[in-house]
Amino acid sequence: MLSEVPSFNQLLKLLQQVPYLASKNLYRVAFHFLMMDPRNLEQFCKVLLQAKHNLEQCSNCFNWKEKDRTCSLCSSAKRDQAIICVVETWQEFLTIEKTGGYEGVYHVLGGAICPLEGIGPEQLTIEPLIARVQRGVREVILATNQTPEGEATAAYIASKLKNVEVKISCLARGVPVGSSLEFMDRLTVYKALSERRPF
Ligand SMILES: [Zn+2]
């Protein structure tokens, strides 16, 4: 049936490429776009393109930043630049930031080591992290997710920092095993962070 409406077919194929979009929602999302006011849809596409054009990852902490501005985290005088909280993705950075209780800076790894998916240390920003720590910081908080991949990544980073003089800590055990920080409530994350323990 869909072959008779090739434009719709094409739209569905495009939406299929969006990760996290459950296949059962594809038709609903396609319908939503088709029913949108053409001006709103144009604005939607414009903002998407603008974001792609104007944003880049900070070469120090790998958070998103405006291309023509310095990273507000790495250049902040209000933050303790000598404490680095290491997270897997930008979503976890947002989760910790939302607790409002952390005053250090961050390092976004870009994922966790997962050999089955072909993600090794070199696919992540581990090397820049080690270099950053070697330039002199007081503490590294390993806030990777408490999943096998997250734990393995934390252990790998800790082994790489073995000969560097720096305090290494990790989140308190309040965080349920096998869980992703992104889906945790603010208080749990805040407690896990404030009661962090040596790695
Ligand atoms: Zn930065």
Q: Is the pLDDT of residue 45 over 80?
A: yes
Q: Is the pLDDT of residue 181 over 90?
A: no
Distance (angstroms) between ligand 1 centre and the Cα of 10 equals: 38
Distance (angstroms) between ligand 1 centre and the Cα of 11 equals: 36
More confident residue, 64 or 192: 64
Distance (angstroms) between ligand 1 centre and the Cα of 105 equals: 8
Distance (angstroms) between ligand 1 centre and the Cα of 197 equals: 25
Distance CA 132, CA 36 (A): 46
Q: For 63-81, how does the pLDDT look when each residue is reduced to its tens digit (9 = 90+)?
A: 999 999 999 999 999 999 9
- What is the 3-state composition of the chain as percent helix, strand, coil, each rounded to the nearest 5? 45, 15, 35
Q: Which of 104, 103, 117, 184 is nearest to 148 (CA)?
A: 117
Distance (angstroms) between ligand 1 centre and the Cα of 12 equals: 36
Distance (angstroms) between ligand 1 centre and the Cα of 185 equals: 25
Distance (angstroms) between ligand 1 centre and the Cα of 31 equals: 39
Q: For 121-174, how does the pLDDT look when each residue is reduced to its tens digit (9 = 90+)?
A: 999 999 999 999 999 999 999 999 888 899 999 999 999 999 999 999 988 766
pLDDT band at 4; cut points 50, 70, 90? confident
